[in-house]
Amino acid sequence: MTRDPADVVVVGGGVMGLATAWELTRRGIRPLVLERFARGHRAGASHGATRNFNNAYDEEHYLDLLVRSREGWDALGRVGGEPLLRLHGLVTHGDVDIASVRARLVERGIAAEVLTAADASVRWPGMRFDDDVLWSADAGVVRAADALVELERRVVAGGGEVRWSTPVAHIGEDSAGIILDLADGGRLRADTLVVTAGAWTAKLLGRLGLPRLTVTEETPAHFAPRTDAAWPSINHYVDPEAYPGTVYGMPTPGEGVKVGFHRVGDEADPDSRPHRPTHQVALAEYVREWMPGLDPASGVPISCTYTSTDDGTFVLDRRGRIVVGAGFSGHGFKFATGIGAVLADLALDSKARAAEPFRLPAARGDGQRERTTRLSSQTGASDS
């Protein structure tokens, strides 16, 4: 049976799909969200209690997106008595140009300062520093699990619908619009389709001209603190000869401090990933050397997926009636509300475009007849 066409259908009910649907409801649209798994599943990339709200970027397109994302998180307000962003601050150190990052943040009105290694060691005795560090108080973590619940609540309250356990088997198109064949034999139509399917994007949209999307299984771990001292979020650009990848970390109440290497996991099929921890010995060695305030023997690994473009840049673009958000490469969650706003722009205006680095390869450079979608706010970065 074919249902009457919806204005916009969103395939993928993780944080990107729900954020897009919420943004559409704010503009008077009643989207339908289709998610292949049940509510609360752990098969994709959106589960877990926290995600880093890391603002240490110096590229303009990411800073624009950061500003718009901050507006979105603030607009969601307080959930369970507190904001969805816990702004306990971010420390960035190691082999990175912290002066450049600080300058870009300050230009946007975002708090950032350079501390000496000695001052940082006094402030955070659970960590070791060899050189100056960048400290931003306007960073921390997103309450990820709570954000998913609140976004779904807002979508439904705005007249949208979220259907869990509804896999899409095939996406087609005819002169009347998009055709969605469901795994249960049903069929839906849509005027416009947004696909935010994470690790399953290439399987659904293999002929859309996507860049290569590599799915990996990543296994950070939670480590137990030795004391009750406060922890910031962490970026550490380590010596690649010593460790397999850049290190990130964040406190997760009730679970410890999450520490992981960025984008070092084995390639995996998202439908049969092995849930096999990797790099745990190196991770414990890193904690022993650089984070003496944690017990290196206490690591409890967790599994998640990255879906990455080769250079780690997001894909936010439109082809005909299909809008795609993909390749969030392990650093997308904090941008979800901004990404949702951009994807809503693309869904509602066929002439809109995201910033050029986010466009599909064939669309880059053909902007003479295109209008770039607004990524920065009318009020500017002073609200961040």
Q: Decide if 279 is inside a domain.
A: no
**Number of structural domains found in the chain:** 1
pLDDT at 5: 60
Q: Decide if 177 is inside a domain.
A: yes
In whole angstroms, give the CA distance from residue 257 to residue 252: 6
CA nearest 384: which of 85, 115, 131, 119? 85
pLDDT at 369: 35
In whole angstroms, give the CA distance from residue 144 to residue 158: 21
Mean pLDDT score of the chain: 92
Model confidence band, residue 22 (pLDDT cutoffs 50, 70, 90) = very high
Q: What is the CATH number of the domain that holds 50?
A: 3.50.50.60
Average pLDDT score over residue span 323-333: 96
Worst-scoring range by mean pLDDT, 4-13, 334-343, 344-353? 4-13
pLDDT at 206: 85
Predicted confidence (pLDDT) per residue in 122-156, tens digit: 999 999 999 999 999 999 999 999 999 999 999 99
In whole angstroms, give the CA distance from residue 283 to residue 297: 10
pLDDT at 370: 37
Q: Decide if 201 is inside a domain.
A: yes
Average pLDDT score over residue span 176-185: 96
Predicted confidence (pLDDT) per residue in 80-98, tens digit: 999 999 999 999 999 999 9
Q: Decide if 354 is inside a domain.
A: yes
Task: Read off the pTM.
Answer: 0.92
Contact predicate 328/314, CB 8 Å? yes
Structural domain containing residue 78: 1-83+141-211+310-384
Looking at residue 361, what DSSP letter applies? G
Q: Decide if 94 is inside a domain.
A: no
Residue 309's CB is within 10 A of a number of other CB atoms, namely 17
pLDDT at 373 over 60: no
Q: Decide if 369 is inside a domain.
A: yes
Model confidence band, residue 6 (pLDDT cutoffs 50, 70, 90) = confident
Q: Decide if 368 is inside a domain.
A: yes
Predicted confidence (pLDDT) per residue in 197-212, tens digit: 999 999 999 889 999 9
Residue type, 168: V
DSSP annotation string for 298-341: G-EE--EEEEE-TT---EEEEETTEEEEE--TT--GGGHHHHHH
Helix (H) or strand (E) holding 372: strand 371-372
Looking at residue 249, what DSSP letter applies? E
In whole angstroms, give the CA distance from residue 279 to residue 261: 8
Provide, for the chain, the percentages of residues in helix, strand and coil under a 3-state DSSP scheme, each rounded to the nearest 5. 30, 30, 45
Sign of CA dihedral 63, 66, 68, 71: negative
Q: Decide if 315 is inside a domain.
A: yes
pLDDT at 64: 98
Contact predicate 322/4, CB 8 Å? no
